[in-house]
Amino acid sequence: VSLVCGATALWDILLHPQEGVHADVELPSSWHTSSLLLLRWKDPAVLEECLSAAAEALVVDGSQVAAREVFPDHRLMIFAVSDLDRVSVRWKAALMAPSTRLADLVDTGFPDSLNATLCLHAVASNDVTDDESQTVRLADDLLNSLDAIHAYSAACQWWTMLTEQTDRSNDGDLLD
């Protein structure tokens, strides 16, 4: 009888979970990498000119496009566009079929936005091995040169620090 009662209680717990226990977790905005667009410029491009070309390609006013972080050593900028739906899709399309101006200024073969999974793997493998060869293996299919891989890795490290700061400001609670 005890065994039947225990099995019934376990069955009830498993099939009738508490309301809200498995609710969807709202991630902080820093985790939405599709809103962090990447632009790797060709030498000797000027940043303001690159942002202007990006705004033109996205068909938005230049005031809506802003650099979030710039990595001059890697010729890389992370930028965002205010108030635009599906911006990552539009940026990807712009890089796949660039205008002459955009093609002259920007490395159109570089990824259009950060990939959270790749970034987490790259940063974790660097923490564990302290060796960039793992990052190179992870990004090898995505990027065509060691310089591009280092640029992407720098963006990943920046994004990881941003997410850690966001997490710390929420005391580690993603639901705040």
SS (H, E, C) the chain: CHHHHHHHHHHHHHHCCCCCCCCCCCCCHHHCHHHCEEEEECCCCCHHHHHHHHHHHHCCCHHHEEEEEEEHHHCEEEEEECCCCCHHHHHHHHHHCCCHHHHHHECCCCCCECCHHHHHHHHHHHHHHCCCHHHHHHHCCCCCCHHHHHHHHHHHHHHHHHHHHHHHHCCCCCCC
Which of 13-27, 28-42, 80-94 is most confident?
80-94
173/25 Cα distance (integer angstroms): 10
- List, for residues 110-144, the tens digit of each pLDDT value: 999 988 888 888 777 665 444 455 445 555 556 77
- List, for residues 85-99, the tens digit of each pLDDT value: 789 999 999 999 999
Q: Whole-prediction pTM value? A: 0.72
- List, for residues 98-116, the tens digit of each pLDDT value: 999 999 999 999 999 988 8
Burial class (CB in 10 A: 0-12, 13-18, 19+), 25: exposed
pLDDT > 80? residue 16 = no
Give residue 105's pLDDT: 96
Give residue 83's pLDDT: 74
126/131 Cα distance (integer angstroms): 6
Whole-number CA gyration radius for the chain: 22
Burial class (CB in 10 A: 0-12, 13-18, 19+), 172: exposed
Give residue 25's pLDDT: 46
